[in-house]
A and B are shown apart, each in its own frame.
Chain A
Amino acid sequence: MRGLFAFIAGGLFGAGLLVSGMTDSRKVQGWLDIFGEWDPTLAFVMGGAMLPMAIAWRITRGRNPALGGLFPPKPDQRVGRNLVLGSILFGAGWGLAGLCPGPSVASLSYGGIGGIVFILSMVGGMWAAPMLRSRLDAA
């Protein structure tokens, strides 16, 4: 059951990315490119996605997930170096290629060699990240 609903959620997420144009790296770069031909689409996608999510967060109050367990508690709200540094590194790569993790998987079947190189290097970065994090924390 958990797998089935995870599969449905993943599928809808991918369909939404395709429909909204967020698997098109030009549209993402267009949003970030304030000195070029600026494309506001990403703001509409974020807005469209946050509305159902905000309602969902409201529904979680005083309830438990349908398949059991507990809802994820709000994490520690401390803003640390890893959050800021990680987001800067992520943003730099996001601008450079115009892809983030979700769309890179959703567009894999039609992303050609570039899409494959992106996923492989992203997975490599994800694999190396825990080592980098422990180095940073020790420093």
Chain B
Amino acid sequence: MQQEWILGLAGGGLIGIAGAIYLLVNGRIMGASGIIGSVVDGTSGNQTSERIWFIAGLFLLPTLLSFWVGPRDNFITDNLWAIAAAGILVGVGTRLANGCTSGHGICGMSRLSLRGFVATVFYIGAGGLSIILFKHLLGVV
């Protein structure tokens, strides 16, 4: 348990340094849903190649690290219907809200953005209710 929060803090630090580089060097906010979503819906304009490079790094480095540290698993549920529904909710919701855990949560709250705090309260609240409903009451995940 103690090791897990130290790893959480260290990994979080890496995430923050990544966001700091993207902000200070490229002048962009490191929000995963905005970077991925704007490439998907074609609104990324002249930032498209930069964003594809970001996504490439986000995929490649954990892939290489997972070979090095040994096999990993994301331990996602076996219920593919639940996964598909969750994916659609995450995709639609993050684009409607203009941000997710990285954009609203990490980048927004660290600049004391009211919208970042409001979004974070609602997605954590909804996430907690979702666990109560789908895990404890319905038992689908």
Residues of A participating in the B interface, judged by any CB pair closer than 8 Å: 2-26, 29, 32-36, 39-42, 44-57, 59-60, 64-72, 74-75, 77, 79, 82-115, 117-130, 132-133, 136
Taking CB atoms and an 8 Å cut-off, the chain B residues in 11-45 that contact chain A are 11-30, 32-33, 36-37, 40-41, 43
Q: How many residues of B contact A (CB 8 A)?
A: 107
A55 to chain B, nearest CB (A): 7
Contact B106 A49 (CB under 8 A): yes
Contact A100 B134 (CB under 8 A): no
Which residues from B are CB-within-8-Å of A26?
75
Which residues from A are CB-within-8-Å of B80?
113-114, 117
Contact A132 B26 (CB under 8 A): no
* Best-surrounded residue of B14, B22, B130 (most CB of chain A within 10 A): B14
Which residues from A are CB-within-8-Å of B119?
83, 86-87
Name the prevailing secondary structure of the A interface residues: helix
Contact B83 A36 (CB under 8 A): no
Question: Are A7 and B97 CB-contacts (below 8 A) given A87-B126, A121-B83?
Answer: no
Contact B105 A15 (CB under 8 A): no
Which residues from A are CB-within-8-Å of B16?
16, 48-53, 56
A119 to B72, CA, bound (A): 18
Question: Are A96 and B86 CB-contacts (below 8 A) given A60-B23, A91-B123?
Answer: yes
8 new A-B contacts, CB < 8 A, other than A9-B19, A20-B9, A85-B93, are A3-B50, A20-B15, A47-B12, A51-B13, A65-B25, A102-B32, A102-B101, A126-B94
Give 10 closest A-B pairs by Cβ, nearest first: A125-B91, A48-B12, A20-B11, A91-B126, A86-B97, A93-B89, A121-B87, A65-B27, A10-B57, A95-B130
